[in-house]
Structure 1
Amino acid sequence: MKQYIREQADILSHILEHSDFDVLSSIKNKHQITIAASGTSKNAALVVKAALTKANIQMNVETPFQLQHCSRLLETSDLVIAISHTGKSKGTLDCAKIAHDHGITTIGITGYMDSPLTQTCDYNIDIGCGDEPIGPKTKGYMATCLTLFLVLFQLLKNNHDFTYQKKDFMKEWLQEIKLFNQTIEATENFLMNHQEWAKASCVSVIGYGIQFGVACEGNLKLLETMQIPAMCYELEEFMHGAHRTITEDSYLIFLHVNGEGYDLMSQLIDFAHQQNAHLIVIEDNQKVKADLYVPYLSKTKAVFTTSLILQVMASYLPECKGINPSDPLFKDFATTVGTRVI
C-alpha cells in the first residue's frame, strides 16, 4: 500500500501532462449528468461534484443500486458516467447498460481498458494509474478524482461553459503534487509520536464542502485497513446527534480548510478539545494551531493533500497493530456475493 501511495505524485503529473480528452469533444449540450459509482469511485465523484457546483450542469452522484431501484435518472439523464476501477463492478455495469438501452450517452472511466465496462459504454477513459491489486485503493482513488475533473472540464468546454477555468485548478494541483513527499514524511513523523491512534476502537472523519468526499474516502480507507468501525460525517450532520459520541475515548479527524463551514468547524474543534477527545486537526491556515498542515488553495481546497494524509494514516496505523493493510481479509468476497463479474 505504501508503494502505491508514493507512486501518486508521478501518476498525477503524468495524467496532467499526457491525458487527451479530445475523444469526448463530440459530446455537446449535456446538462443533466448522472455518475454511477461505488466505494472509492463514488467518493472521488463526490469531491468533483462539490468542486464544480456553480457550473451550468446538474450532477447526480449515486450508488448503482439506488440508481436502478430508487430513481429514474438512468432513463432521464443527458449523460451517464460509469466509474469502476476494475471495470467489473456488476452494479455499475448494469447502470451503463440500462442507460445505453434508453439511448443515453455513456462514458466509462476505468483502470482497465479491456474490461467489461469498456465493452458497454460509448466512450471510455483510462485513469492511467496502472495495476493496484489490493483492496484499499489509493492511487486508483487519486487518479479517478483527477481524471473525472478533467473529463468534466472537457464537457463544460463542449457546452461553452467557462464558469471554472481549468488552468486555475491545474496551477493548484501542481502545487500540491510538489509537496507530496514532504506531506508523507510529515504525516509519518506525526504518527510516530502519536501511536495511541492505533488503539482507537472507532474513528470519525468530519469534513464539509469539497472535503466531505475526502472524509468519506478517509473513513473507507481507515475501516478497510484498521478493521474497526469508522464513520464519516458532513459537518452540520455531525452536530445533529453524532456529537453525543464526543468523549475522552473518541478519536476524531477534522478536515479544516478555507471555505463555508470554517468558523463552524472551529467551534466544534474547540468543543471537542474541552471534552478531552483525541483529535487530529488538518488545517490550511498556518496561523491556526493544528496537527498537520496542507497548502491554502482557494479553488481545489487541497483535496489531494488531505486525501494523502488520510491514506498515510490508513497504511501506518494498522502496522502498529500488527496488521498488513495490503492483505485481503476475504480473498473472493466480491465474486462470491456477486458484486463483481468474473
Structure 2
Amino acid sequence: MATNDWDMYDYILESKDAVRNIVEHQDEIFGEALDYLEGKNIDRIYIAGSGTSYHSAFAARKLIEDKLGIEVTAVYPMEFVDNTRVFTKNALVVGISHAGRSTSTIKALDRARELGLATIAMTAERDRPLNDHADVTTYIEIGDEFAGPKTKGFIGSIATLDVLGLMLAVRRGAITEEEKGELERKMLATTDNIPAIADAAWAWYRENAEDLKRSRRLVVLGCEGNMGAMLEGTLKIWEAVRYAVAGYELEEFMHGGYHSIDDKTYMLNLGNPGKHFERMLRMRDYFVKERGAHCFVITSEDKGHRDVDFVFPFQNEPYFSSMEYVVPLQVIARKLSLDLGIDCNIASDPDFHKKMGSYTY
C-alpha cells in the first residue's frame, strides 16, 4: 500500500499487533538497554517527551514506579532543562521522541549527560538525530505510521516503557518472572480488544455524528488510570478537528472550569469504574440539566448511562486502561475531522517544525 493510502484509522487497528510484537520480541528489543543498565544503581527515573511521547510516559509511569519501587517522573523536556534540579547522580533519563527529531528532547538528554546521568533514547525511527544524544537507544517497534496524528505510536510507546520497566524490575529482583508475565498478559488482553473497541466506537460515532459535527467547543475529562488517555485524546481531537479542545483531571476541572460550561459546550467523560465514577455521573447530570451541555460518557459501567453514551466491556486493568479508553477518542478525532472536511493525515503546515526549530534535521 502506498504511503498516502494509509489513514489514521488503519493505525488504530494496528495497535493490537504492535503491542503483541513488543511483548513477543522483548529480549531482542530491550537487550542492549538492559545490558547498559546492568550494575547501575538507578534510584530515580525521568521520562522526557513532548505531546504523545509525554502522554505515553504519563500513562506508563505508575506501573514502572510501583514495580521498581523508585520515583518515576514524566516531564516536558524543556521543563527538565530549565527548571528541574536533579538531587541524585543515580538517575536515569529516558528521552522519548517518536520521530527521533524533537529538539527539546535532544536538549534534555544533553543536559542529563552533562550532569553525568544515565541516558536512553527511545524512538520509532532509525538513523535519527536523537540517537546521537544518549548512551543507548531503544526502538519503539511498531512498524510504520505515516499518518499525521499518532495513534499506535501512543499505545506502542506505553508498551515499550512498561515492558522495559518490568524487565528491569525482574533483573533488580523487585518482582518475579511470574508477576511480570501476569502483567504482560493483562496488557495484551487490553490491547487485543482495540479493533473491537474501534469498530464499536465508529458505530457509536455514526449514531451521534449530527450532534458532534455542531461542536466547536469540546472538553475532555479523565481521572485515575485514564489520565494518560485524557491527555492524549484531547491532543488527538485537537490535532484532527483543528478547533479548541481542552482536557482536565476531574477534580481540577471543578476548581474553575465549570464556570465556562453552557449549551454550546460538548463534554466527553472517561468513566472508568472506580471511586470517582459516581461523582462524574453527578457532574454530567448537573451540566445536562442545569447548563444544557452536550455530555457523553465513555464507560463499561452498565448503570447511570444515557442513550448517547459509549458503553463497551473494557478490561479496566488500572495500569493499562489508558490504552483502551483512548481508542474512542482517536476514532472521534478521525471520523469527526472527515465529516468537517479536514484531512488530518496532512499537516496544516508541512514546514512548521523547520520554521520553529522544534525538529532537528
- What TM-score comes out, normalization by structure 2 length? 0.89
Q: Distance in 1 between matches of 2:25 and 2:141?
A: 10
> What do residues 82-121 of structure 1 show as CA deviations (whole Å, max 9, x unaligned)?
0001111011011111211222111111001321222221
SS in 1 for 2:213: helix
Determine the C-alpha separation between the residues in 1 that align with 2:90 and 2:264. Answer: 46
Cα offset, 1:300, TM superposition: 3.0
1, 15, 24: which one aligns with 1:17: 24
**Equivalent residue, structure 2, for 1:176:** 190
In structure 2, the residue matched to 1:245 is: 260
Report the equivalent of 2:139: 126
Deviations 1:272-324 (A, max 9, x none): 23233212211122344242324243433532211111111110001111111
**Bigger CA drift: 250-259 or 294-303?**
294-303
Superposed counterparts of 1:166-245, under 5 Å: 166-195=180-209, 196-245=211-260
Q: How far apart in 2 are the matches of 1:128 and 1:37?
A: 18
Question: In structure 2, how many angstroms separate the alpha carbons of the residues matched to 1:80 and 1:231?
Answer: 29
Residue 50 of structure 1: how far off its partner (Å) = 3.6
Question: Does 23-32 or 134-143 show the bigger shift?
Answer: 23-32
Give me the whole-angstrom Cα distance separating, in 1, the residues matched to 2:191 and 2:52.
20
Q: Structure 2 vs 1, CA of residues 85 and 265 (structure 1 numbering), >3 Å: closer, same or farther?
A: same
CA contact (8 A) 1:208 1:234 kept: yes
Deviation of the 1:46 alpha carbon: 0.7
Cα distance in 2 for partners of 1:119, 1:252 equals 43
Residue 60 of structure 2: aligned partner:
48
Partners of 1:169 and 1:299 within 8 A in 2:
no
Work out which of the residue numbers 22, 30, 50 in structure 2 matches 1:38.
50
Equivalent residue number for residue 128 of structure 2: 115
Instruction: Specify whether residues 121 and 294 from structure 1 end up closer, same or farther in structure 2 by C-alpha distance, changes over 3 A only.
Output: farther
Q: Among the aligned pairs, what percent are the same residue?
A: 28
Segment drifting more, 321-330 vs 160-169: 160-169
Unaligned runs of 5+ in 1: none
Q: Confirm or deny: 8 A CA contact 1:108 1:125 kept in the other structure.
A: yes
What is the aligned counterpart of 1:328 among 347, 354, 357?
Answer: 347
CA distance in 1, matches of 2:89, 2:254: 35
Query: Is 1:280 aligned with 2:296?
Result: yes
Q: Structure 2 unaligned runs (5+)?
A: 1-7
Aligned to 2:9: 2
- Give distance in 1, aligned partners of 2:64 and 2:360: 33
Q: 2:159 & 2:153 partners in 1: Cα distance?
A: 10
Q: What's the C-alpha RMSD, in Å, of the aligned pairs? A: 2.0
Aligned equivalent of 2:157, options 136, 141, 144: 144
Distance 2:81 2:241 in 1: 32
Q: Secondary structure at the match of 1:193?
A: helix
Aligned length, in residue pairs: 342
Checking the alignment, whether the CA contact within 8 Å between 2:47 and 2:57 is kept in structure 1 is yes
C-alpha distance in structure 1 between counterparts of 2:71 and 2:130, whole Å:
24
**What is the Cα deviation at residue 75 of structure 1?**
7.4
| TM-score, scaled to structure 1 | 0.93
Out of 324-333 and 74-83, give the one that drifted further: 74-83
